[in-house]
Amino acid sequence: MTPLRILIVDDEELARRRLVRLLADLPGVELAGECDAGQAALTRLREPDADVDVVLLDIRMPGLTGLETAALLGDDGPYVIFTTAHDDHAVDAFDLGAVDYILKPIEAVRLHRALERARQRLGGQRAGSREFVRLPVTTREGIVLVDPQALTHAVFDGALVTLHLDGRTLLTDQSLQDLEDRLPATAFERVHRRALVNLEKIERLEPLETGGYNARMAGGDLVPISRQAARRLRRRLGLS
């Protein structure tokens, strides 16, 4: 199991120490660093060698708040789990795509559950995933039964998800996460917050100056691979 690399962001030293201790006792995780402010976290994550899968992010901090920091991470950033003493920001947090929202004092079992949820999103061990002969996809024309082997990639445009199949496309209001959970975990990889690809349909990886890649898919389409996902994909392909 590839360890999740975790960045802790909290302006309180005692809170950071507690998280460090909790992480030390959890399986399959690795501390990638600590920051005491949102701006420091953004600077750290923009470094060329940054390798972070999940940010444990406090909300009320001097300077940039946790919500502002998460918004600035963008689609290319790591997943975020908010860790806070305040319960009045949960709606805003999940609107920003947070994996989870944990109230302090944080307990090991609760933290472990949140991190496993992040692992599932990152394409690791997807609890309960099954290999369907056909994938039911809800469209305006009805439910279409899709052969997963015919699916090259799926992309979210901010409103709907477009499934690119051999020779055709489908539009659905199902989420990428829902599709990912239903597809064979061995064949598909979430390479971006907005993109899911069939590994068998990648023809080549084209490097970008940002440290990410474009995946050239069968059929010629280019799919962006975030910098964070690029590292995971390289490890999965045995390239690093």
Alpha carbon 147 to chain centroid, angstroms = 25
Angle at 175 (CA atoms; ends 200, 101), nearest 5 degrees: 115
Residue showing tokens 């990886």: 205
pLDDT (tens, 9 = 90+) of the chain, 240 residues, equals 578 999 999 999 999 999 999 999 999 999 999 999 999 999 999 887 788 999 999 999 999 999 999 999 876 789 999 999 998 898 888 888 888 999 999 999 999 989 988 888 776 434 444 444 678 899 988 888 888 889 999 999 888 999 999 889 999 999 988 888 888 777 888 888 889 999 889 998 898 887 778 999 988 999 998 887 887 777 777 675
Contact predicate 76/212, CB 8 Å: yes
Characterise 224 by phi-psi region: left (phi > 0), alpha (psi -120 to 50), beta (else). beta
Instruction: Give DSSP secondary structure letters for the chain.
Output: -PPEEEEEE-S-HHHHHHHHHHHHTSTTEEEEEEESSHHHHHHHHTSTT---SEEEE-SS-SSS-HHHHHHHH-TTSPEEEEEES-STTHHHHHHTT-SEEEESSPPHHHHHHHHHHHHHHTTS--TT----SSEEEEETTEEEEE-GGGEEEEEE-SS-EEEEETTEEEEE-S-HHHHHHHS-TTTEEEEETTEEEEGGGEEEEEE-TTS-EEEEETTS-EEEE-HHHHHHHHHHTT--
The whole-angstrom separation of Cα 57 and Cα 40 is 12
Single pTM value for the model: 0.57
Which residue type sits at 35?
Answer: C
The whole-angstrom separation of Cα 228 and Cα 13 is 27
